[in-house]
Amino acid sequence: MRARNYFIGAAFALLAGGMAHSALAQDIKIGEINSYSLLPAFTEPYRKGWQLAVEEINAAGGINGKKLVVVSKDDGGKPADAQTAANELVSSEGVAMLAGTFLSNIGLAVSDFANQKKVFFLAAEPLTDAITWSKGNKYTFRLRPSNYMQAAMLVEAASKLPAKRWATIAPNYEYGQSAVAVFKKLMSEKRPDIQWVDEQWPPQGKIDAGPVVQAVAAANPEAILNVTFGADLVKLVREGNTRGLFKGREVVSFLTGEPEYLDPLKDETPEGWIVTGYPWYSIKTPEHDAFLKAYQAKYNDYPRLGSIVGYQTIKSAAAILAKAGSTDPEKLIAAAEGLSMPSPFGEITFRKIDHQSTLGAFVGKTVLKDGKGVMVDSSYKKGADYLPSDAEVAKLRPKD
């Protein structure tokens, strides 16, 4: 028996020695999954963010004296591969919790895996409301402000506009569909006089922008809601500028103020759009200053929103692990529920009722400055103020 144990131990030592992320048994490991190869524009700054957090945490003595190690895996943008990675992290790497993911369907796949295998999962970026509400489960928490919250923040500004005839342009998949649905619902509640005159649903990543812009212009709306992002947004903006679609029309747009999506537009940035985003250049709070300084010192680059999300994901995970004082998933859940912690955007709390964090976002207007787009008149919207009442949330979420 003894000999056998030695043998297994030796085999494991060999295996572990061969691995890039070898770690000592007393380290605390977090398993991190994201679409690094599919979405490098977002995940590169994200990775820099969490690497900075790991460095800071370990420099400050780790988690209750133990060193924090993050084992990171690529999911290639496929839910099935994300589950394979999650399984490897849990079964082979023995991680204390899972974290990360960007796309909503991958977030949901990992959250379902976590629920089945009883593993704590902190979803970083997926926006879908389902992950905390209709398909929520007790093992899954989410950091970023959800679709609903972003919509509610935009509606607050949009409902003050005089425009009555609205058109929508959104990518044809769950994110676009639910963003439009929530925006329409909240908007119509505040402004029953509004008419929805046209909707366009280009396929994600494949917008044929010319005809879409023409079709929207033909409906002659006074205001437009845009949900497209990335390369689709670039094409839409370019066609829209050339064809004069945005002239004399208000535009409200999801996520466009995030540097990831705003910066590529350069001198074509349309002015006066009401957007959610991250104006890192104009946030003047001590928490953010500290983060900005550390980030720029380490990478000699400015942060994107992904950097904030990556940074705060690992900071939150560390806070939860420190409070739980254990890696037992049930204790982690108990520790996370209602836990408040500092973030570069100010204090945030993981709500007990639906496991959503109260991290907020900035809402502002786009302007062109020195040949590139920036957000001005921006103000921070606290996540807690843009969530439905507890009674409504309780109805939305299945009982654990």
Partner 1 sequence: MAFYVVQFLTGLASAASLFLVASGLSIIFGVTRIVNFAHGAFYMIGAYIAFTLTERLSGAFGFWGSIVLAALAVALIGVIVEMVLLRRIYHAPELFQLLATFGLTLMVEDLVVLIWGPDDLVGRRAPGFKGAIDFFGQNIPSYDLFLIVLGPVVLGILWLLFQRTRWGVLVRAATQDRDMVAALGVNQKWLFTSVFAVGVFLAALGGALQIPRDAVHHAMDLRIIVEVFVVVVIGGLGSIVGAFVAAVLVSELNAFGILIFPKISIILVFLVMAVVLIVRPWGLFGKPEAAARKTPGLTVNPWRPLTSNERLASLAALVIAAMLPLFAGNYALTVGSEIAIFVIFAVSLHFLMSVGGLASFGHAAYFGLGAYGIAFLAKMAGLPMIVCLLLGPLLGCLGAAVFGFFAVQLSGVYFAMLTLAFAQIVWSIAFQWVSVTGGDNGILGLWPSSWAASPSHFYWLALGVAALVMIALRAMVFSPFGYALRATRDSLLRSEAIGIDAKRIQWTAFVIAGTTAGIGGALFAYLKGSVFPDNLGISLSVDALVMVLLGGVETVSGAVIGAIVYKALNIWLVSQTDLSKLVLGGFIMLIVVVFPKGIVGMLEMLAQRRRKSSPPGSPLLAKPIESAE
Chain contacts with partner 1 (rule: CB under 8 A): 20, 36-38, 40-41, 43-44, 73-76, 78-81, 83-85, 87-88, 91-92, 104-105, 108-109, 112-113, 115-116, 128, 130, 135, 172-174, 177, 198-203, 205-206, 208-212, 214-215, 217-218, 230-231, 234-235, 238-239, 242-244, 263-266, 268
**What pairs with residue 250 in β-bridges?**
223
- Between residues 45 and 360, which has the closer beta carbon with respect to partner 1? 45
CB of 77 to partner 1, least distance (A): 9
Residue 114 in 3-state DSSP? helix
The residue among 240 and 360 lying less far from partner 1, judged by its C-beta, is 240
Cα–Cα distance between 39 and 330 in angstroms, integer? Answer: 33
Q: Report yes or no: 222 and 216 within 8 Å, Cβ to Cβ.
A: no
Q: How far is the CB of 29 from partner 1 (least distance, A)?
A: 15
Tell the smallest beta-carbon distance from residue 394 to partner 1 (Å). Answer: 21
355, two tokens: 């496991």
**Residue among 38 and 341 whose Cβ is closer to partner 1:** 38
Contacts of 47 (CB under 8 A, 6+ apart): 34, 36, 72, 310
What gap in Å lies between CA 30 and CA 54, rounded to an integer?
Answer: 10
Rounded distance between C-alpha atoms, residue 49 and residue 141, angstroms? 19
Minimum separation from the CB atom of position 97 to partner 1 (A): 17
CA 394/CA 356 separation, integer angstroms: 13
- Complex with partner 1: residue 271 or 390, whichever CB lies closer: 271
- Residue 284 CB, shortest distance to partner 1, in Å, is 27
Name the E strands within the chain.
28-34, 68-74, 97-100, 121-123, 140-142, 165-169, 195-200, 223-226, 250-257, 274-277, 340-341, 348-349, 361-369, 372-381
Q: Whose Cβ is closer to partner 1: residue 253's or residue 358's?
A: 253
Beta carbon nearer to partner 1, 52 or 237:
237
Minimum CB–partner distance for residue 217 and partner 1 (Å): 8
